[in-house]
Amino acid sequence: MISRLILFAAFWTFLAGREPALLAGPPVSQGSRPASDRTFLNIVREDKESRQLGPYRLNLVKSYNADGAMIRLLITYSPYRFYWNQAFTDSRYVRNSDPLGPRPDWEVFRLDQENAWEWESARDLTFAAAYRAELTPFRFDPWDRLRLLDWAVKEYLKMYTFPEFLARSRVYFARTVGNYERQNPRKVKLSQGHAPVSESRSKETREYRIFKELLAPDGNFFTPSSRYDPTIASYFSRPDFLSRLPREIPRQVNVQEPLTRPVLLVVHASTAFDEDKTAARGIDEKIKAFKARKLPVIYLMEPCYESDWFWYPKDRNPDYAVYSAGGEHNLPLATGDVTIVGGFFGDYDCHHGCHFKALADSISRHFLRTKTSLNIHLPFNAIYFFDQDTRDREGFLNRTTTDQAFVDTVHHSYLCYDPGDRLGCNSGYYTGEITLRDYTFNYHVEGRFIASFGKGARKVNFHLSRD
């Protein structure tokens, strides 16, 4: 027995001295890689690059083999904002007492649970202060992390780094894709067809699509965004551009103090969505009017710093600027009067416009606090639509559509539709069910009552106007 213990201790002593990694688990990917790894990749040269991109400090290490191919790219930058801004772990909805009785669909809903599958391959980034990814043309999986890059860094890499990577190492990328296609014919087929969501979202399938996209002659994986403003492109090449960027608008996750006075919500007033600024004049007028009355103005803004560059309202000093990826909010509305501008307007075919989400959440937040009716003002010169629907907006603004016809269109086509007994296609998914058995929707145009739908105790008065 003693001899066995001695042998066992000797064995573990040997392991501890010979290979600590066997005891400690896989090494943490920080700093330089082991020399053996450099030998395996046949690295003969490394170039280092460091750049300041607005608030981001980007560091790149490019590793080359004897053939001149870039066979490893190490990307690090800080601060890392994407995760915290896109999927903050604070509850989207706070469970308060429902004045009209408990409802199971008012449960707490967490963004991190909704987006959990997005982070399956990047758990280290969940609360990271810095982003890190190590890319090679031999493995798919690290490339999946590029979905989680902050926008400015992603655009810089698309313009300057990725094209070089591909040009120098295309043969290695192609070889990796070919090997995968031979070994995984079923997954390749899934990536090309209409696979079930659970399978089409699999990590390997997404990664394979990335490689196929970057190798496609007409692919846009390495192409700057189509919405990329030419003036911002100069940001990456002109040192003085930083001084001319719009001031960053400070944001916060939650507004804690109850909002007891009429409030203006400005939803994604950005050329990233409203490229022609169709709602800009109306939005500026509303902001000016609310500020003149010293009423709160709240911007629901995209979660990234770069969205400030596209934000078009002239006033850059709101009372609050809140993170909102899709118009959702948990504002403590203790007022019966809300004006909502911006876009996109409406919810149909299960495609939720951000303006609609803000509207639905305003209803749910209000009735969590009170039984009194809610007035929602919709000035359509300050609201933008999807391109294919602008004719409805223009018809109302130009008075070529009657008020009755426009109300019918808004109710049946944009807010409620077949079977027409609830708000939105699937509003319960993000705000709790808002049904016409519990609510009454009253529509007014320019102060004139037009129509009413539903017979519920909770009353919402929609006030439609042209300005």
Q: Does 239 fall in a domain?
A: no
Mean pLDDT of 119-128: 70
Residues 380 and 287 in one domain: yes
pTM value is: 0.67
Residue ending a domain, choose from 185, 215, 245 = 215
Of 250, 322, 199, 243, nearest in space to 52 by CA: 243
pLDDT at 345: 94
Mean pLDDT of 54-65: 90
What distance in Å separates the CA atoms of residue 133 and residue 156, rounded to the nearest whole number? 15
Greater confidence (164 vs 465) lies with: 465
Q: Give whichever of 24-33, 54-63, 397-406 has the largest mean pLDDT.
A: 397-406
263, 296 Cβ separation under 8 angstroms: yes
What distance in Å separates the CA atoms of residue 359 and residue 346, rounded to the nearest whole number? 9
Residues 440 and 365 in one domain: yes
Residues 24 and 39 in one domain: no
Residues 176 and 269 in one domain: no
Greater confidence (143 vs 251) lies with: 143
pLDDT at 340: 98
- pLDDT of residue 194 exceeding 90, the answer is no
Of 275, 154, 268, nearest in space to 221 by CA: 154
Residues 165 and 210 in one domain: yes
Q: Does 270 fall in a domain?
A: yes
- pLDDT of residue 364 exceeding 80, the answer is yes
pLDDT at 87: 42
Mean pLDDT of 158-183: 86
- For 172, the domain range is 35-80+129-215
Please tell me the total count of domains within the chain: 3
- Report the CATH number that the domain containing residue 317 is assigned in CATH: 3.40.50
Mean pLDDT value across the chain: 75
Q: Distances in Å between the alpha carbon of 169 and those of 8, 122, 144, 201, 285?
A: 48, 25, 18, 27, 54
* Chain position carrying tokens 């001149």: 68
Residues 290 and 204 in one domain: no
Residue ending a domain, choose from 215, 243, 276 = 215
Q: Does 240 fall in a domain?
A: no
Share of the chain above pLDDT 90, in %: 34
Residues 392 and 335 in one domain: yes
Q: 410-436 pLDDT, tens per residue?
A: 999 899 876 777 888 755 445 567 888
pLDDT at 203: 59
Q: Does 66 fall in a domain?
A: yes
Residue ending a domain, choose from 159, 192, 215 = 215
Residues 188 and 283 in one domain: no
Q: Does 243 fall in a domain?
A: no
Q: Helix, strand, or coil here: 158?
A: helix
Residues 418 and 347 in one domain: yes
Q: Does 108 fall in a domain?
A: no
Q: Distances in Å between the alpha carbon of 251 and those of 303, 305, 318, 399, 458?
A: 9, 10, 10, 38, 32
Q: 316-338 pLDDT, tens per residue?
A: 889 988 877 778 787 888 899 99
Residues 413 and 446 in one domain: yes
What distance in Å separates the CA atoms of residue 272 and residue 227, rounded to the nearest whole number? 6
Residues 185 and 288 in one domain: no
- pLDDT of residue 90 exceeding 90, the answer is no
Mean pLDDT of 440-467: 95
Indicate the pLDDT class of residue 200, thresholds 50, 70 and 90: very low
Q: Does 86 fall in a domain?
A: no
Mean pLDDT of 230-246: 55
Residues 206 and 298 in one domain: no
pLDDT at 402: 96
- pLDDT of residue 344 exceeding 50, the answer is yes
Q: Give whichever of 34-38, 123-127, 229-233, 260-264 has the largest mean pLDDT.
A: 260-264
pLDDT at 458: 92
Q: Distances in Å between the alpha carbon of 113 and those of 197, 231, 446?
A: 17, 38, 42
Of 433, 332, 411, 410, nearest in space to 107 by CA: 433
- pLDDT of residue 212 exceeding 90, the answer is no
Q: Does 111 fall in a domain?
A: no
